[in-house]
């Protein structure tokens, strides 16, 4: 009489079935971001513009690079959770990083730039801690926080003396920043509502969200290039 050996137990989680495009948009955007960052920093007109450009590009590369790594592959549960924390925290950093060159080049007085930087970076740091330590927060709570910080920066800039009509370059940059913000907002709505659903085989709501973020980055990079070449202030 033989006794069948018990089936070996495994702790491996089943592989997640992702749309075929998952992660590829940000994977393609990452090397473009690196090249665009080098160009932007090299063309920046002065030290303040170079500093702002470097911070903007650093936070952009961090977001797109980690996002591509996180979304493209199937990871072990602990690794996946760590990458998810970084991925969600990076959104707050990119918001603050985008406002940094604006504060350094488009505000007439030093204290105004300091005010904007203080508000957006304090909000970003608080957001980073929030997503790192409460990664399972409901989507209806943390998605609006991204939008609040993003548009709060606009309000603080307006309060601090931001004047997009100070020069033709500032007008162009202001329009590009606004369009980029609109793309981010539309992407956040798609992500928050999961429209048009999670059943897509190739291109689902998450891919639409990533496409909006890439388009927004393109707008903001163009705006930062205008500011780097023709800074209205702090020259």
Q: Would the pTM of this model clear 0.75, i.e. be above it?
A: yes
Other CB atoms within a 10 A radius of the CB of residue 32 amount to: 14
- Taking a C-beta distance cutoff of 8 angstroms, is the pair 149, 178 a contact? no
- Annotated ligand binding at 206? The verdict is yes
The verdict on whether residue 45 carries a ligand-binding annotation is: no
- What would the pLDDT profile of 31-62 be if each residue is shown by its tens digit? 999 999 999 999 998 888 899 999 999 999 99
pLDDT of residue 126: 97
Instruction: Give the CATH number of domain 24-229.
Output: 1.20.1070
Q: What is the DSSP letter of 136?
A: T
Please give the Cα distance from 184 to 199 (Å, whole number).
Answer: 23
Q: What is the pLDDT of residue 107?
A: 77
At residue 222, the pLDDT reads: 96
Contact between residue 29 and residue 64 where contact means Cβ atoms under 8 Å apart: yes
Nearest to 108 by CA among 166, 43, 156: 166
Per-residue pLDDT of the chain (235 residues; tens, 9 = 90+): 455 555 555 444 456 678 889 999 999 999 999 999 999 999 998 888 899 999 999 999 999 999 999 999 999 999 999 999 999 999 999 999 999 998 888 877 677 888 889 999 999 999 999 999 999 999 999 999 999 999 887 877 766 556 665 666 778 888 899 999 999 999 999 999 988 877 778 899 999 999 999 999 999 999 999 888 877 765 5
Mutual angle of helices 24-43 and 47-72, in 10-degree steps? 170
Q: At what angle do helices 77-105 and 110-133 cross, to 10 degrees?
A: 170
H or E element in which residue 153 lies: helix 139-159
């Amino acid at each position: 009489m033989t006794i069948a050996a018990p089936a070996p137990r495994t702790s491996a989680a089943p592989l997640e079935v992702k749309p075929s495009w998952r992660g590829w948009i940000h994977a393609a955007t990452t090397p473009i971001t690196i090249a665009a960052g080098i160009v932007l920093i090299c063309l920046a007109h002065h030290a303040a513009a170079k500093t702002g450009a470097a911070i903007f590009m650093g936070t952009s590369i961090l977001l797109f690079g980690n996002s591509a790594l996180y979304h493209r592959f199937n990871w072990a549960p602990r690794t996946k959770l760590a990458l998810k924390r970084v991925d969600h925290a990076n959104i707050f950093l990119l918001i603050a990083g985008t406002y940094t060159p604006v504060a350094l080049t488009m505000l007439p007085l030093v204290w105004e730039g300091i005010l904007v930087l203080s508000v957006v970076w304090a909000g970003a740091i608080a957001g980073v801690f929030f997503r790192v330590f409460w990664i399972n927060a409901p989507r209806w709570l943390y998605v609006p926080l991204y939008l609040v910080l993003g548009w709060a920066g606009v309000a603080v800039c307006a309060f601090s003396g931001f004047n997009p009509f100070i020069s033709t370059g500032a007008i162009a940059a202001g329009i590009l920043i606004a369009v980029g913000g609109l793309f981010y907002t539309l992407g956040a709505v798609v992500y928050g509502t999961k429209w048009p659903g999670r059943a897509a085989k190739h291109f689902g709501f998450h891919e639409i969200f990533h496409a909006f973020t890439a388009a927004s980055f393109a707008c903001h990079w163009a705006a930062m290039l205008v500011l780097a070449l023709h800074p209205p202030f702090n020259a």
